[in-house]
Chains A and B, each alone.
Chain A
Amino acid sequence: MMAALQENAQAATARPAPAERRTRPSTGAWVQGVLLLVMALISLIPLIAIFVGTFQDGNEVIRRGVSFDVDLGSLSLDNYVLLFTDSGPYFRWFANTLLLTVGQVVGTLLVSSFVAYGFAMYEFRTKTLWFIMVLLVMTVPFEMLMLPLYVQVNDMGLADTYTVIVLPFLASAVTIFFFRQYFLGIPKEILEAGRVDGVSEFGIFFRLVLPITKPAMAAMAILNGMLCWNNFLWPLLVLRSPEKFTLPIGLNTLLTPYGNNYELLIIGAFFSLIPVLILFLAFQRFFIEGITAGAVKG
């Protein structure tokens, strides 16, 4: 948040508005402000609606839908009590998702920055060809690959494991692309200095270059963390055992027409957003950088 504010402050100083406008907003500024505020509120309504829903009777919410017409007298904390005392597998899903997210983020950052370094810092004969492959992989939606990949991992005997959720995406094309851009901006003299000091090519990467890539790491950690936390399609295909379910998979199982656990569905869906929202408020700049870094959909 602070970072964003600073950014705006800089933008304001870089492009000063005429003094009279600053003191007395023009009609244009009024129209613009109202329009932006209304749009912002509309985009928050779905989240406010589900937040209000967490205080209502779950079956009632499913039957009536979410509504502007809220009976304040009927609101209660029952669902919160349920969540923390009797939510069955919910926190198991939560812990699974957390574990998977941490594992995938650490793995992806390491492997992808490693690969990106090769593309950014060296000249070699087939480089263009392989880099075009990165660009193609980056833009092909996962949905194209899901069926053959599913068949492939079944044959490899990897179905229903966390390994298979993570492994195909450690060398993530978007992340490679982003790190490559970042490394291109690092002076090559660092490499030469390292070589003169007798550091190996890999030592240069791990000991000299990685420590100065923190901003890029932060943006990519956020992007990959969010994608992994929300990942649905691939785990839906490969996970079978209920004790391995993640939050999106688990929540989806609650969304059946014959459900008897709609309380948990509503509050569980809302509660699954909390970690991401907290991180967003703390690191807004890295979110925007990370998500606008590539073609991201999830």
Chain B
Amino acid sequence: MANEILEEQISGEYKYGFVTDIDADNAPKGLNEEIIRFISSKKNEPEWMLDYRLKAFRYWLTLDEPHWAHVSYQKPDFQEIIYYSAPKPKVQLNSLDEVDPELLKTFEKLGISIEEQKRLSGVESRIAVDIVMDSVSVKTTFKETLSEKGIIFCSFGEAVQEHPELVKKYMSSVVPYTDNFYAALNSAVFTDGSFCYIPKGVRCPMELSTYFRINASGTGQFERTLIIADEDSYVSYLEGCTAPMRDENQLHAAVVEIVAHKNAEVKYSTVQNWYPGDKDGKGGIFNFVTKRGICLEDNSKISWTQVETGSAVTWKYPSVILKGDNSIGEFYSVAVTNNYQQADTGTKMMHLGKNTRSTIISKGISAGFSNNSYRGLVRIAKGASNARNFSQCDSLLMGDKCGAHTFPYIEIKDKSAVVEHEATTSKIGEDQLFYCKQRGIDNEKAIGLIVNGYCKEVLNKLPMEFAVEAQKLLAVSLEGSVG
């Protein structure tokens, strides 16, 4: 029984595996200073931006690829990647009528109907979407509504043009280009991304969302997101991503930076559903992402929530630097791996300020031949008095060919710190299944029920719209994996 369903799931098509036939403006393959100059001039960037890219590139050349993660994969050939691909025609769009109908169809297939968004604009739970396709932002909705409140929500390229002072001040302040191999690469070749600024005292009235889509073949996606929450502001930000099914491995190396000022709160949620490769582990996205937020001033809060179901290889540690006193960092994660997927994900909580608190809840589920690791760091610096951390990492194994691993690092240099970590690994209990079945719930539904219960702590943290999607994703990914 279980096998049948698992089979069904494995052979089931990846829903977002289509390719949109849109003319794209591609750069030649390969990586060198010429390409970087090309990207920069395509984007009509000021001098300082180009300098920054070149600095990052020269630094990147001195680095070696990191190998410490518990994953193994064929090293990407950085000269075989197209670093710039933009859907044509790229003109400033004012109304939806001007958008390429092929593009609109794509979004409808992805379940983001811009038309509908527009019609529903009076409804309360609306979402402003920035859509990034092959690293170039193609459409940002609700821009006008947001700008009335003083909120800036636009593509990164636009921000460089229109708000250079903000970009200059904050870009690279949380993730410097010297941070790691992929952050340096991203800083050199990033093509677009989202930019968001919430002014003082503003509570963003709607969820802001970026939708990432890799479309063109042979390309890598390198986008950059920068979110700044000024004093007393609040924003909830969503990120989603999909890619077509291809035999090749495509590289996605993004950087996300969040800055929270005094009393500000940022909630960042991700449903990561890049193409995971086929059932033999062929193809799929390499997802090497650097995400970090800083609670710069007192009483600020940054919360990461992620549901990771896609990608062939995931290498991702959304982190929080708790610099301001009384600041709070949170990390809630569900990571599901199936077939030959590999995930090495977790978080870093750096406690620097006084009375800082952090919570880590991580739920890993591995099935098939996959490997799923939690890797996290909790560091309490000297002088970070009364810091408090609680971490919980649970792993669920389905089948005897997969692996679940936990690698927490805890470094404490302050005596008033209280740090707790606990982790468990197990399979779905026979008694739990028996209990459900005895009450007339079939095997498949029982597993769904148990897994959803197992992930509840994390799913509860997602905004409504995402929670539904995440639950569905989980159900599809895991039905009948045990029995």
Chain A bound to chain B? no
